[in-house]
Amino acid sequence: MALPIGKIIGVGVALVLVIGGYLLGFRSTTEPERMAATPKASSTPPLSHEQKPTVTVSPPTPREKVTQVSESTAQATPTETASPAPVAKETPLTESAEPRVATATPPPPPQLRPLTLRQAEPGPGADATLKEGEALPFSVTLDEGDSRTLRYRWTLNGVEQSTEATWRYTPKFDEAEEARKSVQVVVRDEADQRVEREWRVRVLNVNRVPTISTTTPRLGSPVHVVAGATQSFVVNAKDPDKDGSLTYRWLLDGDEVNTGETGTWQFHAPTSDGAHQVTVEIQDAAGEKIQERWDVVVKATAPSLRWVRVQPKDERVRTQTGQMVEFSALAELSSQTRGAEGIQYQWRVNETVRQTEEAGRFQFSEDRAGRYQVSVVALTAEGIKSLPRQWSLDVRELEPPPAVTSPEETAPDSRAMTQCDKDVRAWLESYRRAWETKNVRTLASLGAIARMDTASVAQTLKEYQSFRVMLTDRDIQCAGTEATVSFSRVDEIDGEIVVHPERTTIQLDKRNGQWMMRSR
């Protein structure tokens, strides 16, 4: 059915008005922005930065889109109504107005995925078995999924053992027991999430072989034994597992010769030369054993003499002219020698034999200063001879003691002294020096002691460490080849003064040009 032309024209006019109203509203929304950007002349002073006006712009929405129509149009189309177009409103600022501040809220932290145990070693079971001394490694692998820090704690029966990512358990030789041990690991991350794993471990006992601490003789070198002699072998061993008993089995050249609970055995060497092998086998109660062996060389040697004691011990001796030095020596035959007796000692001075005797004693005295060598060898009737023992002697001139005179004694005038006086005075000085130097040979030659008493007098004088003799208040009476001498004697023995209570009187005779003390 055809529509009337007037109605069609009315509808077209209405559409035009709607589109124009929409464009007019859009233009109105931008007008406040231009007004804010362009300052207006006003009688009021300009606002400060804090008092700038705030403009609120409400953008058009579909609900705010209206159609403005004129009265004529409204009259032409009474069925359509129009609402006023949206208008941008300007809100005046007041002194109390404040700018709006935006507050940023941080995003929530990322959520970590739960810890998950992916693999564990040992696995897959929860029980493990190992022996003492063996090593069992433990480790865990986690399915982390993202980067995180992990903390590990390994424990054995609740006692912390390690904080590393892996742990190796090596039980000692005293940790074996029937009860199983608990090995546990706890892994944590920074969020304190945790995962655990536990193993039950049984440690089996291991029996160890006995150990040897010392041996006599030492192992590793041949043992030399004289034919016919006895050699002891000693072994100190222990059981490292417990204080159980050990059994020692001794073998000689592969044949068992002794078995017992002591580590000592004696080897009786044959009388002929030869090589042998001594073996010891040590076994504990569980049957564990250890062996050690020595190579033994048996050799017959010729009889020999060895020194047991010699005096003086020092090989260098210092002495003075006229002083006596005592030497002594003692030797014995080697233990394997049989039937050799009658040892003699041969003493030499500067390679000249002075004495051969069986007591092992020798006295040395020399009136001339110099260097001397005294040696001794031991001899047997069978021709066995020892090595020589030697001493080096340094004999020096005797230093004369200071003259000791009595206050009443005055030295005689040399012009008034006769030859007899001079000879007797020289004899008295030799007499005094012989006593002081313990020279019994000179005392015997002067007639002061009998030759048969030299040994006993020498033994007495030997006991003195220091000895000085002083002759005071001398009186000499000469009559041809005879002289009478009297004096007082004072001795200093080891620092102690000894005064002879009685005055000494000596009768001298001149024989063959020498003065001699007359026999009493």
pLDDT digits (tens, 9 = 90+) for 229-287: 899 999 999 888 776 789 999 999 999 999 998 899 999 999 888 999 999 999 988 88
pLDDT at 100 over 70: no
Quick one: pLDDT at residue 480? 81
Answer yes or no: are the C-beta atoms of 216 and 243 closer than 8 Å: no
What mean pLDDT comes out for the span 364-393? Answer: 90
pLDDT at 74 over 50: no
pLDDT at 340 over 50: no
pLDDT at 380 over 70: yes
What mean pLDDT comes out for the span 343-349? Answer: 93
Looking at the chain, the domain(s) classified CATH 3.10.450.50 span: 419-517
Quick one: pLDDT at residue 297? 93
Quick one: pLDDT at residue 23? 64
Band of residue 511 on the pLDDT scale cut at 50, 70, 90: confident
Quick one: pLDDT at residue 335? 59
Quick one: pLDDT at residue 481? 85
- Kind of pairing between the strands at 166-169 and 181-188: unpaired
Quick one: pLDDT at residue 21? 64
More confident residue, 98 or 437: 437
49, HSE (Cβ side, Cα atoms, 13 Å):
0
Is the model's pTM score more than 0.85? no
What mean pLDDT comes out for the span 438-457? Answer: 85
pLDDT at 27 over 80: no
Burial class (CB in 10 A: 0-12, 13-18, 19+), 200: middle
Quick one: pLDDT at residue 275? 94
> Which class in CATH covers the domain with range 305-396?
mainly beta
pLDDT at 508 over 90: no
Quick one: pLDDT at residue 52? 44
The pair of three-digit structure tokens given for residue 163, joined into one six-digit string: 């904080």
Quick one: pLDDT at residue 102? 63
What mean pLDDT comes out for the span 204-233? Answer: 89
Instruction: Give the rounded distance of the alpha carbon of 36 from its chain centre.
Output: 94
- What length does the chain have? 520
pLDDT at 98 over 60: no
Band of residue 110 on the pLDDT scale cut at 50, 70, 90: low
Looking at the chain, the domain(s) classified CATH 2.60.40.10 span: 117-204, 211-299, 305-396
CATH 3.10.450.50 is held by the domain 419-517:
yes
Quick one: pLDDT at residue 253? 94
- CATH fold, domain 117-204, is Immunoglobulin-like (2.60.40)
Instruction: Give domain 211-299's CATH superfamily.
Output: Immunoglobulins (2.60.40.10)
More confident residue, 95 or 235: 235
Torsion angle in degrees (nearest 10) through CA of 490, 492, 493, 498: 40
Cα 85 to Cα 369: distance, rounded to the nearest angstrom:
156
Instruction: Give the rounded distance of the alpha carbon of 507 from its chain centre.
Output: 80
Quick one: pLDDT at residue 4? 59
pLDDT at 349 over 90: yes
Quick one: pLDDT at residue 490? 87
The fraction of the chain above a pLDDT of 90, given in percent, is 24
Mean pLDDT of the chain: 78
Provide the sign of the torsion angle of the four alpha carbons 282, 284, 285, 287, taken in this order. Answer: negative
